[in-house]
Structure 1
């Protein structure tokens, strides 16, 4: 008895073999061929070169020509459609014969079929089709009949469907995405069967076609952004002259019982209100949401209360949340989902308090990503920070750290931890006394208060406890305590040093932070064996050569140390790292042009 006689073991063995291995196995014997051939076709690799891609394009063109010939033949010789489909599906030679014998140029009166007609004709031969991706298809009102037919005849059998709408402008060589009439997405959604688990309809403009006279009427047309559905992704991309038919879209969304994730881009307050209504009345399985406002730096046009209503409307509990802004009301709404939260990513946090952040960290048993710092935005967001005493969360009875449930799950932590007195820092990097602004845009601002120790050694005590808390996150891969979002292109952000040189000012520079030195207790982080990235951008650290030597030994998976060279010690550390550990990426911090 061979191992191949046991299908479960044979399938397990085949799963470990490459395509080359499988191609060898099928030539061993007939029984091996019978066993391993099906596994070769589980995955068809993409074209490996431009020549193969060109060959794929030529094959697609041949398929189109064959479909066109067969379509014209069907027009010339009407026959029972069901019989014809079954016969041609059973024997591929029939289609080849029809293509070879029918010359579409013989009947000059036959109208040229449209791409839409050819697609519907081709899909008649695919009654068991489950996954379909349509690229560059028109979605205007003139195409409604096609999409109604497509939704009726094709969509019900699909499990996965993705369509990308395009529009060919007369003055452009290539088509571009959009616009899409507001009627099409509901037509497609309405015909989805209970087996549909992925329906993605990305677009830039959902609109209602109106006459010029209607457009000139002095009325406010409120935008109501549509949302596509998918178990994996939802993409919503803004609005332009839409009809306020919000109730219909809300009802359509509420019926999407398999929907799990929402991705919403360029949305307005009205579209988010519709989404909140849909969450209250349906969408029982949605637990992931990503909201962005496109290229807008000013997010104030979407009220905090509207975002809060979306967060509060979820009945299942959010798992993954990605937002551009968390203000007072939305922060309060988010905290209510801390027990289910797995990932939190926010760029702007004007209303996210230290207590709320620690409430999430201390009550989220599944949390693996906590990120409230963004990189490379070149904007000036309101970035909240965690106070060291809140982060330590000391039990006054036992004088020990309270246990947090995310210690075994947290892998990415990016947040500022401040509130640590640093008596060792009396001057800024520009030679000014701390608390006094430099000439120009002062890095600490007018009237900045320098935190003082209540007793000698308090700063080091707090740091030891913060290190202890961080050391409990034993699965941590990314430790981001600093970040860089400065705008080098804005001349108003530069300040004058005492030497007379002009350098980039930094209002958000961290002085009341961890030293990240061995003297302050850095060695407590030796438990972070999975750590890959450390970020200390714009932080007043005391990292030197000894510290980076210790990091390379204590953290065997380290691949990146970002933010060194702010002072002489860090410059030496960064130089040593580049010389002796070239495999570790060193991204230094710069304060000059």
Structure 2
């Protein structure tokens, strides 16, 4: 009705206005495409009407506009459709050579994806057993609990398994010549086919890649059932595969742009990943984060050592090892890490079997002039053996700390004489020379504490200091050493559970807190689970001398790299109030 009253000039103006809006908005509309699951993919297609093909056609037309693509699917159908709609009419599937090398893609067929997130799901649909179905968590449950069509059910199995899963992704990677960030989930299933698929995937990484994140799952609540039809790979078969991978022809392109590598969980095989990364040198890695990784044997340990020693020719800037188990070579890893002290800016070592000794910590602080963050405080209860810095190593060293740029210091300091403490918080007696007034006097304790605080006073850029364990799952009572008994009633090895700190700094004005007067950037001091001596006088002094003390903040540096965060980093216990997150001072 309105169109009938418009003249040709008016219609022309409308067309021009619409075209202007189209040109302004079309790139923004297609900048980020997220397909979370099968249902969201169907919704994407059906948005143009039931049974319409306009959705896939529109995706194919605008695929060159996509910059961020997130595919979190539970069915391989999504992968097939993604691969098919990103191909031009008449274009044949990309062939992959036996050595895992993808052919060079013509420039006109290249994609402009800059960030890609892919989480592999399960097998093609097949009818479940007549009395059971698989729910969204991969668990077999009675059919009566569900009324959805059988075609929506399938049994979860491998994250990457044969061409049915991998080839569509290899096609997208081969055409994404501007890809900068790539994140993929690899589940920890040691079965035949997975290792070779991983090798093909790492070999296909584009030369433009700057950040690679490999995670073992999306959310720890998911439980995937292992497909028992696919046999597990033996150690001999795995070694043979690694030998074959090591002899693959070197790819035509290196990964010289790769700066950041994060491996979270125990999904990916680090031997294969490291072998291919080293085969695609020169590398210029700067950022390495390993979270909850397990190095089972000497060969995997050697791969870790090789990666730290040779993976960053210009020197590491960030190294985070959280919840890792790296066998008997821990001291060698630390030695390799110390070789990069001149360039290190961020270090976090929270392993299940700590090998970062007090001497090594002191050496690092005395040789890392660019260090900004240092953290050895556990963030989970099972990381219960934190590396500690001894007061004796601090005051006995002939060198002073050179890390004047340090902003965040999270490390327990032990070995402080505390003759003022005779009992635990549970009224049990404290033993040892450090609590014996006949061995250490109050004046001697104060002298040692002042020398330690004098070192901390040199760190004038400090924003936060954590000297106590603020583990999320730590019990708030005092644990003490105890003896267990064998069947004969004889006492056996003494087991110690770390609880409240007693041989620690008091952090009082009387014992030298006033030496920290020039730390004008200090915002937070965490003395959790410490028998410190701070009272109202010390709190008032800190507010008076530290202008920004108590100002809200959230340090997200390690959390962004997949590490568990500390309670002190959150300063609150609710994750639901998004507005509260936005009120934090990010730095």
Aligned pair partner of 1:345 in 335, 343, 348: 348
Post-superposition offset of 1:369: 1.0
Tell me which residue corresponds to 1:367: 371
Instruction: Tell me the TM-score normalised to structure 1 length.
Output: 0.60
Task: Give the length in aligned residue pairs.
Answer: 440
Question: 1:450/1:68 Cα in 2 relative to 1: closer, same or farther (>3 Å)?
Answer: farther
- 2:30 touches 2:65 (CA, 8 Å); kept in 1? no
Q: Distance in 2 between matches of 1:286 and 1:368?
A: 18
- 2:477 touches 2:499 (CA, 8 Å); kept in 1? no
Post-superposition offset of 1:350: 2.1
Tell me which residue corresponds to 2:539: 548
Q: Distance in 1 between matches of 2:115 and 2:268?
A: 29
Tell me which residue corresponds to 1:384: 387
Aligned pair partner of 2:184 in 196, 201, 207: 201
CA RMSD of aligned residues (A): 5.1
Matched, 1:309 2:295: no
Greater mean deviation of Cα atoms: 409-418 or 448-457: 448-457
Tell me which residue corresponds to 1:322: 320
Question: 1:284/1:550 Cα in 2 relative to 1: closer, same or farther (>3 Å)?
Answer: same
Query: SS of 1:149's equivalent?
Result: coil
Tell me which residue corresponds to 2:116: 162
- 1:236 touches 1:264 (CA, 8 Å); kept in 2? yes
Q: Over residues 399-452 of structure 1, what are the superposed CA-to-partner deviations in whole Å (9 max), with x where a residue is unaligned?
A: xx7351x21x2111100112222222222222233228xxxxxxxxxx999798
Tell me which residue corresponds to 1:68: 53
Post-superposition offset of 1:358: 2.0
Which residues of structure 1 form unaligned runs of 5+? 1-34, 48-53, 70-117, 216-220, 396-400, 437-446, 497-504, 562-583, 588-593
Matched, 1:149 2:93: yes
Q: Over residues 369-423 of structure 1, what are the superposed CA-to-partner deviations in whole Å (9 max), with x where a residue is unaligned?
A: 1001122x1225332211224335765xxxxx7351x21x211110011222222
Q: Distance in 1 between matches of 2:171 and 2:31?
A: 29
Q: Over residues 22-59 of structure 1, what are the superposed CA-to-partner deviations in whole Å (9 max), with x where a residue is unaligned?
A: xxxxxxxxxxxxx9999999977999xxxxxx999977
Question: 1:231/1:66 Cα in 2 relative to 1: closer, same or farther (>3 Å)?
Answer: farther
Question: 1:253/1:484 Cα in 2 relative to 1: closer, same or farther (>3 Å)?
Answer: farther
Matched, 1:334 2:337: yes
- 2:69 touches 2:113 (CA, 8 Å); kept in 1? no
Which residues of structure 2 form unaligned runs of 5+? 1-19, 33-38, 87-91, 95-101, 139-155, 218-223, 227-231, 483-495, 553-569, 574-587
Post-superposition offset of 1:172: 4.1
Matched, 1:483 2:469: yes
Post-superposition offset of 1:554: 2.4
Where do 1:122-521 residues align within 5 Å? 122-126=58-62, 128-129=64-65, 131-137=67-73, 138-139=75-76, 149=93, 156-164=110-118, 165-167=120-122, 171-172=133-134, 174=136, 179-181=159-161, 184=166, 187-188=170-171, 191-192=174-175, 195-204=178-187, 230-237=209-216, 241=232, 244=238, 245-246=241-242, 247-248=244-245, 255-267=254-266, 271-272=270-271, 274-275=273-274, 278-279=277-278, 282=281, 284-293=283-292, 304-314=301-311, 315-324=313-322, 325=324, 327-348=330-351, 350-375=354-379, 377-392=380-395, 395=398, 402=400, 404=402, 406-407=403-404, 409-435=405-431, 457-485=443-471, 507-521=498-512
Q: Distance in 1 between matches of 2:427 and 2:377?
A: 27
Q: Distance in 2 between matches of 1:526 and 1:42?
A: 53
Say which one has the larger Rg.
1
Tell me which residue corresponds to 2:521: 530
Post-superposition offset of 1:344: 1.0
- 1:180 touches 1:206 (CA, 8 Å); kept in 2? no
Post-superposition offset of 1:317: 1.8
Post-superposition offset of 1:68: 0.9
- 1:532 touches 1:560 (CA, 8 Å); kept in 2? yes
Q: Over residues 51-84 of structure 1, what are the superposed CA-to-partner deviations in whole Å (9 max), with x where a residue is unaligned?
A: xxx9999776334869715xxxxxxxxxxxxxxx
Greater mean deviation of Cα atoms: 165-174 or 512-521: 165-174
Question: 1:553/1:429 Cα in 2 relative to 1: closer, same or farther (>3 Å)?
Answer: same
Query: SS of 2:321's equivalent?
Result: strand
Instruction: Tell me the TM-score normalised to structure 2 length.
Output: 0.60
Question: 1:181/1:522 Cα in 2 relative to 1: closer, same or farther (>3 Å)?
Answer: same
- 2:265 touches 2:291 (CA, 8 Å); kept in 1? yes
